Amino acid sequence: MTDGGSLRGVSLRRSFGTGVGRVDVLTGLDIAVEPGALTVVTGRSGAGKTTLVNILGGLDRPDSGRVLLGDEVLSEAPRERLLELRRTRIGMVFQDFGLIPVLTAAENIEVPLRLAREEPRRRDARVAELLERMGLSRHARHLPSQLSGGQQQRVGIARALAAAPTVVLADEPTAQLDQETAASVLDLLVDLTRERGLATLVTTHDPLVVARADQVIHLHH
Ligand SMILES: Nc1ncnc2c1ncn2[C@@H]1O[C@H](COP(=O)(O)OP(=O)(O)OP(=O)(O)O)[C@@H](O)[C@H]1O
């Protein structure tokens, strides 16, 4: 496996607020999310899981420390380059699925491919392949409101993978799902991680997710 897909945080620090209201959320955290493996981040509510995901995904910058995507310093990349890396190299999966309600399942998956200016035939082929892989071929034309929670999260995962990223960051992806559905969504994410050599990070409160991890990082600020 090359180093191109690993995502590392080195000495990450992030605080919010000032004076007595100041909260030191990350205080020198080191983390390496390796290709083909599931890294799970746990910690009670407020421990900084979302803060970490936002920093690793380039949505927020650390106060100090660095985020490295392969050999590139993501945390210091100029805005344009950061947007490009986020579009092409990093897939994000959200607790509330984050689907666009007026677009069908297929159209939601297509969004990153349109942003990447992929040509229509390749776009269609990629969307069909992902729908098939997610077991959603029959639901291509359904709106999110016509899908179950588990199906919506499968669409969310397909969308995250559409542009063939090397890294997947999922912030509590199973929190809205019942246990059985959560287990099947997690199975899918683990299988895709192995199959595609993805560097996958999942935050969770769920012991079942922790049990599947190759690496567990416990946050307590
Ligand atoms: N933009 C912000 N401004 C001020 N404080 C913030 C901001 N973002 C996060 N915090 C604070 O940082 C701490 C960590 O928040 P974060 O959302 O990362 O925790 P979490 O572990 O994801 O929690 P949960 O499990 O509830 O989602 C909390 O005390 C929160 O109030």
CATH number for the domain harbouring residue 65: 3.40.50.300
Overall number of domains in the chain: 1
Helices 105-115 and 120-133 meet at what angle, rounded to 10? 130
Q: pTM score, two decimals?
A: 0.94
25 Cβ closer than 6 Å to some ligand 1 atom: yes
186 and 208 in contact (C-beta within 8 Å)?
yes
Q: Which of 15, 16, 176 to mutate to test the pocket of ligand 1 (most atoms within 8 A of CB)?
A: 16
50 Cβ closer than 6 Å to some ligand 1 atom: yes
104 Cβ closer than 6 Å to some ligand 1 atom: no
Domain membership flag for residue 132:
yes
Domain membership flag for residue 2:
no
Q: Is 196 helix (H, G, I), strand (E, B) or coil?
A: helix
Residue nearest to atom 2 of ligand 1 (CA): 16
Domain membership flag for residue 80:
yes
21 Cβ closer than 6 Å to some ligand 1 atom: no
**Look-up of token digits 């984050």:** 98
94 and 153 in contact (C-beta within 8 Å)?
no
**Helical H segments across the chain, by residue range:** 49-56, 79-88, 105-115, 120-133, 149-161, 179-196, 207-211
176 and 13 in contact (C-beta within 8 Å)?
no
What is the structure's pLDDT at 220? 83
Domain span including residue 192: 7-15+25-218
What is the structure's pLDDT at 47? 92
- State how beta strands 167-171 and 23-33 pair: unpaired
Q: How far is residue 188 from each of residues 63, 103, 118, measured CA to CA in Å?
A: 35, 23, 26
Compute the distance between CA of residue 190 and CA of residue 208 in angstroms, rounded to an integer: 13
Tens of pLDDT along the chain (221 residues) come to 444 579 999 999 999 999 999 999 999 999 999 999 999 999 989 999 999 999 999 999 999 999 999 999 999 999 999 999 999 999 999 999 999 999 999 999 999 999 989 999 999 999 999 999 999 999 999 999 999 999 999 999 999 999 999 999 999 999 999 999 999 999 999 999 999 999 999 999 999 999 999 999 999 86
42 Cβ closer than 6 Å to some ligand 1 atom: no
Domain membership flag for residue 208:
yes
What is the structure's pLDDT at 1? 41
Compute the distance between CA of residue 208 and CA of residue 79 in angstroms, rounded to an integer: 37
221 and 49 in contact (C-beta within 8 Å)?
no
Query: Which atom of ligand 1 is least distant from the CA of 47?
Result: 21
202 and 39 in contact (C-beta within 8 Å)?
yes
Domain membership flag for residue 20:
no
Domain membership flag for residue 128:
yes
45 Cβ closer than 6 Å to some ligand 1 atom: yes
